[in-house]
Amino acid sequence: MTPVAELVDKTREFVREHVIPIEREVVVDGRVMDDALRLDLQKKAKDAGVFGPLSDPRYGGLGLDTRAQAQVLEAAGASLIGPLAVNAWAPDDGNIHLLAHVADPEQQERYLAPLASGEVRSAIAMTEPAPGAGSDPRMLCTVAEETDNGWVINGAKHFTTGAAGAAFVICVARTPDGPTMFLVDQDNPGLQVGRRMPTLDHTSAPGGHCEVNFVDCEVPDSAVLGTIGHGLELAAVRLAPSRLTFCMNWLGLAVRAQQLTLDHVVRRTAFGSPIAEHGLAQGLIADSEIDIAAARGLIATAAATIDAEGAVSAQARHETSIAKTFVSEAVWRVLDRAVQLHGGLGVCEDHLVARFLVEARAFRIYEGPSEVLRWSIARRALRGPR
Amino acid sequence: MTPVAELVDKTREFVREHVIPIEREVVVDGRVMDDALRLDLQKKAKDAGVFGPLSDPRYGGLGLDTRAQAQVLEAAGASLIGPLAVNAWAPDDGNIHLLAHVADPEQQERYLAPLASGEVRSAIAMTEPAPGAGSDPRMLCTVAEETDNGWVINGAKHFTTGAAGAAFVICVARTPDGPTMFLVDQDNPGLQVGRRMPTLDHTSAPGGHCEVNFVDCEVPDSAVLGTIGHGLELAAVRLAPSRLTFCMNWLGLAVRAQQLTLDHVVRRTAFGSPIAEHGLAQGLIADSEIDIAAARGLIATAAATIDAEGAVSAQARHETSIAKTFVSEAVWRVLDRAVQLHGGLGVCEDHLVARFLVEARAFRIYEGPSEVLRWSIARRALRGPR
Amino acid sequence: MTPVAELVDKTREFVREHVIPIEREVVVDGRVMDDALRLDLQKKAKDAGVFGPLSDPRYGGLGLDTRAQAQVLEAAGASLIGPLAVNAWAPDDGNIHLLAHVADPEQQERYLAPLASGEVRSAIAMTEPAPGAGSDPRMLCTVAEETDNGWVINGAKHFTTGAAGAAFVICVARTPDGPTMFLVDQDNPGLQVGRRMPTLDHTSAPGGHCEVNFVDCEVPDSAVLGTIGHGLELAAVRLAPSRLTFCMNWLGLAVRAQQLTLDHVVRRTAFGSPIAEHGLAQGLIADSEIDIAAARGLIATAAATIDAEGAVSAQARHETSIAKTFVSEAVWRVLDRAVQLHGGLGVCEDHLVARFLVEARAFRIYEGPSEVLRWSIARRALRGPR
Amino acid sequence: MTPVAELVDKTREFVREHVIPIEREVVVDGRVMDDALRLDLQKKAKDAGVFGPLSDPRYGGLGLDTRAQAQVLEAAGASLIGPLAVNAWAPDDGNIHLLAHVADPEQQERYLAPLASGEVRSAIAMTEPAPGAGSDPRMLCTVAEETDNGWVINGAKHFTTGAAGAAFVICVARTPDGPTMFLVDQDNPGLQVGRRMPTLDHTSAPGGHCEVNFVDCEVPDSAVLGTIGHGLELAAVRLAPSRLTFCMNWLGLAVRAQQLTLDHVVRRTAFGSPIAEHGLAQGLIADSEIDIAAARGLIATAAATIDAEGAVSAQARHETSIAKTFVSEAVWRVLDRAVQLHGGLGVCEDHLVARFLVEARAFRIYEGPSEVLRWSIARRALRGPR
């Protein structure tokens, strides 16, 4: 067995043994996914040798290329909280990648090291309430003004994933030279983390999706991430890997849901035979097999391109856009079929598939709604050589 | 304006003025939909002259034919709790129809009168945990044994909508002569209403979807509804109208979601213009218009057939099966597009469309999952004259 | 039986007895559909009392309202050449409607009378090669200039259905006051009917889809149809009924294909049972039943609106746009499933379903491609009251 | 550039320069694709160094593994007759593979050598008219009886691709020990090649899809391919590679159609801007990009599995079933969108996309209809370890 295949097996084993029992407590029984629970799971992942598929070995990570990440994260994604348990869940996944590529050495030590090793969590404050930046980053309203000592940030954000309890928040704000990213510490008095928004995906993310306000929030020059005015390029550095990580994780959950469904249909009987023998059920099962295989192929292709050409190459951006669009919709279809094939049980939150479906809905919107992605895919195709 | 058109207008006005404000409290703010609230809403509906679209005038209802019901209930359905407010929500809608057609005069006075007038609620205990009856009614496990004084019922049910607080439960149980329906009073010591199941649709039904046990539950002979051994025929009496009422109500919600979406997309701007001007958004909007129009056409067709040929005619059963299949899937698509066009807000339960989507999921399963209905539609087509 | 139901029955009988035998010769054996054949079929339709569902009784027609047309034309559409046999095929269907509404008495006598009675055929020359008018009528390039004696028209058209052999062609040309319609006689030396374009639908239309040139084509003032400069309004008069007639005819063909398919699947066995008993085949059959029922409902709704509010009312235009979009796509799906359920035979032109599919492809494009219609549907929805 | 990438480039160049000009003559202008033309094209392919992607170097082929074939055949597939030009078109593609794996040395010399080198064509006679073998090979009716000198075959076949003009036909016939494959020479008097069936795909295959009768057809023992009674296992040897070759070829055509479409939409204007800027057109373009990328990923995955585990491994059969199902449907969607985006021109056979669509329809049926494949995919999933 190759080292990656072994790691996949170990990750599967870890999820089965340590994560899935907890998942049921969290998803069905309402146990709160707080940092104590997260740290406990991550401790077990470290013990099992499966922690940090996105992290550098110097931070205790596995040092995998993107193709290997695809296989490992699909295994971790078998549980809704599996990716978190190995420290590959949003937004930390993307922030680890971002900081590894653009943070200066001091920032890496201060922010990346504890994040990549699972010591702390982080957030990125990008999306704003209307009329601010949503899908269109050029509508950014949050402003950073230069002062004698650094910068002062003012503006409102929302859907800031993981903000409650995050050790730091990466804030994207408008400066005279253009959008810029700032590292804002948790204890900065100008950082006001508001309510957790009541989103449909509410069980898996410690720190929720928060409303966040920056009120005369002062940060030093050393808080600037990368170059002033190049915040959108930095966002692009983060975007392709982040989209793909999402795909890997959710594909894992789709595979799990399909397994739960197969288990159900062979046991449950109706009209004289197991549901597994009903033609229309078989059609749904086959469609999910096809969706899963196609999703896996698109992820593998895009991962190979990132490894070969880099995450900001035009080809990587095109392929991750395609993958994100297809996979988010394919996962949704697989989970929806899983619910349908569970019959009444499928809409009862005693059963994981009901909750999986609801949790997954946002995936078609976060990190680029399907319609915005289709638009960008079409424009790239139209620009291509003919 | 025709009397029906006037009634539609009055119903719209009632929903806008009295129901929608309460809906927000229930759906977003977590106010419990209990019987006090239900009675208050129904009182207002009576005052507005819109109570009882499914009830006979002798019980304070509007005495409408099915075609008129279609128009009025689409208007009532504009709110998730609108149909309840006019006393046309499951399972009372189907039970009113059932009792009106098969109850004897004494049963009508005792059970139908208070139900049709909104005084009480009811339930029907049909679905059973595995290996009992789900989609396949022939798998019925609950048993009624004849005694000297009547019958004693034993068995487990679940997904018994509205059971908590219902004045009576119609129980379907197996007897030597076949499945039979029994009227069981709320205070019968053998009727044990268990926990409310944590279904995805949790805000709209007072009484929830409950686990129910019949434990040596004694009922007199007068509790038998219709003829002994003909319970499945009775269920068929109930089924076509019940499916169609569901369609009417949920179509109304789809129309409402489309309106909320149109309002959103004309206001929210991205990439330099309102979302309403983006071609891909327009495509989703048009698809929802088409789905709504097609759903309305199928409901109207089936309603006319029920009025002309009766609810148990083969044609009515075929057309309501077709309508239920298409409408439940079309409503799901419309609500899903509404979420998508709301972007991030669409998956936040501050916004009604997020909750509408989740509430609607069960509609594709309850009263016949789409796959079972497709199977029956195909078999009827294959039996047809050629 | 109502008179309309009787007429439907007679039309079905006529198609079965007189049209379907000829259809096979035309569609499978390559017999040319020329005017001799058309006149023979129409003679038989007159004898059977089913000629002219779109024509006024004064021209030998049946004088039906739009709702009755829907039922009769669905019956006629059971054969690919059935609508032609009763004189309800494009473009004569729309031209009859147009002339009946906007031609002056002299024009009605000269053009409408022989057309509505089946004596002659007609064409309408609207679509132009790039950069002329396609879906966008404002791109009209053909020009009519006023002379002392009338007008002289110059310009190129294509996809002019039925032009070869048409007694007259309605030409849409640009004048200083706007687009204008002109009646051009077959023997006008300036009317040059070119080649029949090799379109996918090649068996059903006598006269084909032709390239047509107007070369210094002189017409008198009496050739102007309606008011100068109002050609697009006239096109709109024609559009809604024409779209709906298409829907009626093609729905009939979809119903026929479904019948042929049901006949096939009950007879053909595979894997130990008739295909009719395979679950996945049943799913396709049910989907086609649903598509057919939904299409019929949309046609009925739009027809009722035309009868109540007129063909140029905003509501009629909206509903016929919706119907055209859905029905053209639903018919395509039904025919595609028919091919699929016939297996290998389905792609062999010995079998009608293969040819039906190919013939039907243009229906999603002619008289407004689905995408243009969706755009217009969305804009109307967005303009609506909220 | 890797050798494979170079070969892909050379294949693209060859198709552009030598094949596409001929394609237009064949597809649009009706030139017959006969063996003279085939041999001329294959001569040019040999000169260009791109002949034989499926053939062994000893027969003048390129000796590629399946992954390389995928890339090269996608390039060849850019023209409807490109795969034929490089000798990778059905049924020779599958027959080359079959003979290479199961023919004895003498058979290889006599049948495989001239086939793999393009000297001759072949056919495989499997499918039978009802009640014979279609999708279900166990329904085989053709019979081979043992004689003193060998075997005598009797039975009717149809859809025998390439039979007219084939140097030999592989006949599958029932023997007492089970289905068996026989090599039947063209000049065998018991081999009666009947009419070419009028299938929708009529331009690309020299030899058509024929009706074939075996009438007291005597063959020697040396005509038996592989082991007597193991004909279905041999068919399985052929099946996975054959399905995948189809996918590669047709994916190439989908890519070509997308290119033709992109070219069209940037040039054609409507409603004030190029169609390329219309949102709904962009949506279709993006959907085709996604379909193409997903198809390519599934082919690559299955090809890698064939290379690693062999074409008859369970995994290869599962993955090629999935690929065939998805790719055949994805190609159909891409071609259908290409037609739609061409507007009226798209249904005119002057334009290649119209013909491409019609030619492609059979791909969803040949070598396993989607429904039969879905059934097999589901059963394999249900058998899997859980």
What DSSP string runs through C291-355? HHHHHHHHHHHHHHHHHHH-TTSHHHHHHHHHHHHHHHHHHHHHHHHHHHHTGGGGGBTTSHHHH
Between CA B67 and CA B5 the distance in angstroms is 12
Q: Which of A282, A293, A379 sits opposite D301 (nearest CB)?
A: A293
Q: What is the pLDDT of residue D385?
A: 62
> Which of C265, C271, C277, C282 has the most A C-beta neighbours within 10 Å, making it the best mutation to test the interface with A?
C282
Between CA D290 and CA D298 the distance in angstroms is 12
Pick from A228, A216, A117, A141: nearest CA to A182 = A228
Between CA C319 and CA C307 the distance in angstroms is 13
Between CA C123 and CA C207 the distance in angstroms is 9
Tell me whether residue D264 is in a domain. yes
Q: What is the pLDDT of residue A2?
A: 84
- A197 and A240 in a single domain? The answer is no
Residue pair A233/A162 in contact by the 8 Å Cβ criterion: no
- A127 and A165 in a single domain? The answer is yes
| Spans in chain C with pLDDT lower than 50 | none
Q: What is the pLDDT of residue B385?
A: 62
Q: What is the pLDDT of residue D351?
A: 94
- A66 and A137 in a single domain? The answer is no
Tell me whether residue D117 is in a domain. no
Residues in chain B: 386
Chain B contacts of D283, Cβ < 8 Å?
279-280, 283
Residue pair A147/A218 in contact by the 8 Å Cβ criterion: yes
End-to-end Cα separation, chain A, in angstroms: 44
- Range A87-109 burial, b when 16+ CB lie within 10 A, else e: bbbbbbbbbbbbbbebbeeebbe
Q: What is the pLDDT of residue B162?
A: 95
Chain A residue with the nearest C-alpha to that of B269: A131
Cβ <8 Å between C280 and A283: yes
Q: Is the dihedral angle over the CA atoms D170, D174, D180, D183 positive or is it negative?
A: negative
Residue B202 has pLDDT above 90, yes or no: no
Three-state SS annotation for B330-366: HHHHHHHHHHHHCHHHHHECCCHHHHHHHHHHHHHCC
Q: Which of A339, A350, A365 sits opposite B343 (nearest CB)?
A: A365
| The pair of three-digit structure tokens given for residue B58, joined into one six-digit string | 């002798």
Give the domain CATH number at A324: 1.20.140.10
Boundary (domain end) residue, out of A170, A195, A225:
A225
Q: pLDDT band at residue D384, thresholds of 50, 70 and 90?
A: confident
Cβ <8 Å between C282 and A281: no
Pick from C296, B384, C347, B126: nearest CA to D158 = C347
Residue pair B379/C282 in contact by the 8 Å Cβ criterion: yes
Between CA A83 and CA A45 the distance in angstroms is 10
Chain D contacts of B283, Cβ < 8 Å?
279-280, 283
Answer whether the bond into residue B91 is a cis peptide, omega within 30°: yes
- C23 and C53 in a single domain? The answer is yes
Residue pair C361/C317 in contact by the 8 Å Cβ criterion: no
> Residue B263 — φ and ψ, nearest 5°?
-60, -40
Q: Is D280 on the interface with C (CB under 8 A)?
A: yes
> Residue C125 — φ and ψ, nearest 5°?
-100, 100
Which of residues 322 through 341 in chain D touch A, CB cutoff 8 A?
Answer: 322-323, 325-326
Between CA D173 and CA D230 the distance in angstroms is 11
Q: Is B377 on the interface with D (CB under 8 A)?
A: no
More confident residue, D127 or A135: D127
Q: pLDDT band at residue A286, thresholds of 50, 70 and 90?
A: very high
Tell me whether residue A19 is in a domain. yes
Boundary (domain end) residue, out of D173, D193, D225:
D225
More confident residue, A134 or D356: D356
Pick from B126, B115, B183: nearest CA to B366 = B126
Q: Is B280 on the interface with D (CB under 8 A)?
A: yes
Range of the domain at D57: 3-99
Q: What is the pLDDT of residue D187?
A: 97
Q: What is the pLDDT of residue C1?
A: 72
- B238 and B330 in a single domain? The answer is yes
Q: Which of A282, A289, A326 sits opposite D290 (nearest CB)?
A: A326
- A281 and A178 in a single domain? The answer is no
Beta strand B191-196 with B209-220: parallel, antiparallel or unpaired?
A: antiparallel
Chain C contacts of A281, Cβ < 8 Å?
279
**pLDDT tens, position by position, A338-360:** 999 999 999 999 999 999 999 99
Cβ <8 Å between C284 and D344: no
Chain C residue with the nearest C-alpha to that of D211: C348
Tell me whether residue A117 is in a domain. no
Residue pair C310/C320 in contact by the 8 Å Cβ criterion: no
Please give the average per-residue pLDDT across D241-253, as a whole number: 97
Give Cβ neighbours of residue D126 (< 8 Å, ≥ 6 apart): D133, D137, D157, D160, D172, D235
Residue D235 has pLDDT above 60, yes or no: yes
Instruction: Give the mean pLDDT of chain A.
Output: 96
Q: Which of B289, B325, B378 sits opposite C381 (nearest CB)?
A: B289
Boundary (domain end) residue, out of B66, B91, B116:
B116
Q: pLDDT band at residue A385, thresholds of 50, 70 and 90?
A: low
> Which of B278, B284, B327, B377 has the most C C-beta neighbours within 10 Å, making it the best mutation to test the interface with C?
B377
Which stretches does DSSP call E strand in chain D? Answer: 122-125, 143-146, 150-161, 168-175, 178-185, 191-196, 209-220, 224-225, 269-270, 273-274
Share of chain A above pLDDT 70, in %: 99
- B53 and B108 in a single domain? The answer is yes
- C40 and C141 in a single domain? The answer is no
Between CA B69 and CA D40 the distance in angstroms is 72
What is the Rg, in whole angstroms, of the alpha carbon atoms belonging to chain D? 21
Instruction: Give the mean pLDDT of chain B.
Output: 96
- B163 and B130 in a single domain? The answer is yes
> Residue A365 — φ and ψ, nearest 5°?
-120, -45
Q: What is the pLDDT of residue B278?
A: 96
Give A199's Cβ-side CA count (13 Å radius). Answer: 29
Residue type, D292: I
| The pair of three-digit structure tokens given for residue C107, joined into one six-digit string | 């024009």
Measure in Å the smallest separation between the Cα of D285 and chain C Cα atoms.
Answer: 13
Q: Is C370 on the interface with D (CB under 8 A)?
A: yes
Give A201's Cβ-side CA count (13 Å radius). Answer: 28
Q: What is the pLDDT of residue C385?
A: 62
Residue pair C138/C168 in contact by the 8 Å Cβ criterion: no
> Which of C251, C255, C261, C282 has the most B C-beta neighbours within 10 Å, making it the best mutation to test the interface with B?
C282
Residues in chain C: 386
Share of chain D above pLDDT 70, in %: 99
Burial class (CB in 10 A: 0-12, 13-18, 19+), B325: buried
CA max distance for chain D: 79
ipTM score over 0.85, yes or no: yes
Between CA A322 and CA A326 the distance in angstroms is 6
**pLDDT tens, position by position, B117-143:** 999 999 999 999 999 998 888 999 999
Chain C contacts of D358, Cβ < 8 Å?
200, 358
**pLDDT tens, position by position, A84-125:** 999 999 999 999 999 999 999 999 999 999 999 999 999 999
Q: Is B156 on the interface with A (CB under 8 A)?
A: no
Tell me whether residue D315 is in a domain. yes
Residue A135 has pLDDT above 90, yes or no: no
Cβ <8 Å between B373 and C286: yes
Cβ <8 Å between B283 and D283: yes
End-to-end Cα separation, chain C, in angstroms: 44
Q: Is C39 on the interface with D (CB under 8 A)?
A: no
Number of domains in chain C: 3
- B275 and B369 in a single domain? The answer is yes
Pick from C357, C188, C47: nearest CA to D362 = C357
Give the domain CATH number at C194: 2.40.110.10
Chain A contacts of D373, Cβ < 8 Å?
286
- B292 and B167 in a single domain? The answer is no
Chain B contacts of A138, Cβ < 8 Å?
271
Q: What is the pLDDT of residue A384?
A: 78
Residue B323 has pLDDT above 70, yes or no: yes
> Residue A270 — φ and ψ, nearest 5°?
-155, 145
Give the domain CATH number at B31: 1.10.540.10
The region that residue C290 occupies, defined by phi over 0 for left and psi between -120 and 50 for alpha, beta otherwise, is alpha
Cβ <8 Å between B280 and D283: yes
Residue pair B52/B116 in contact by the 8 Å Cβ criterion: yes
**pLDDT tens, position by position, B180-198:** 999 999 999 999 999 999 9
- C240 and C367 in a single domain? The answer is yes
> Which of D200, D359, D377 has the most C C-beta neighbours within 10 Å, making it the best mutation to test the interface with C?
D200
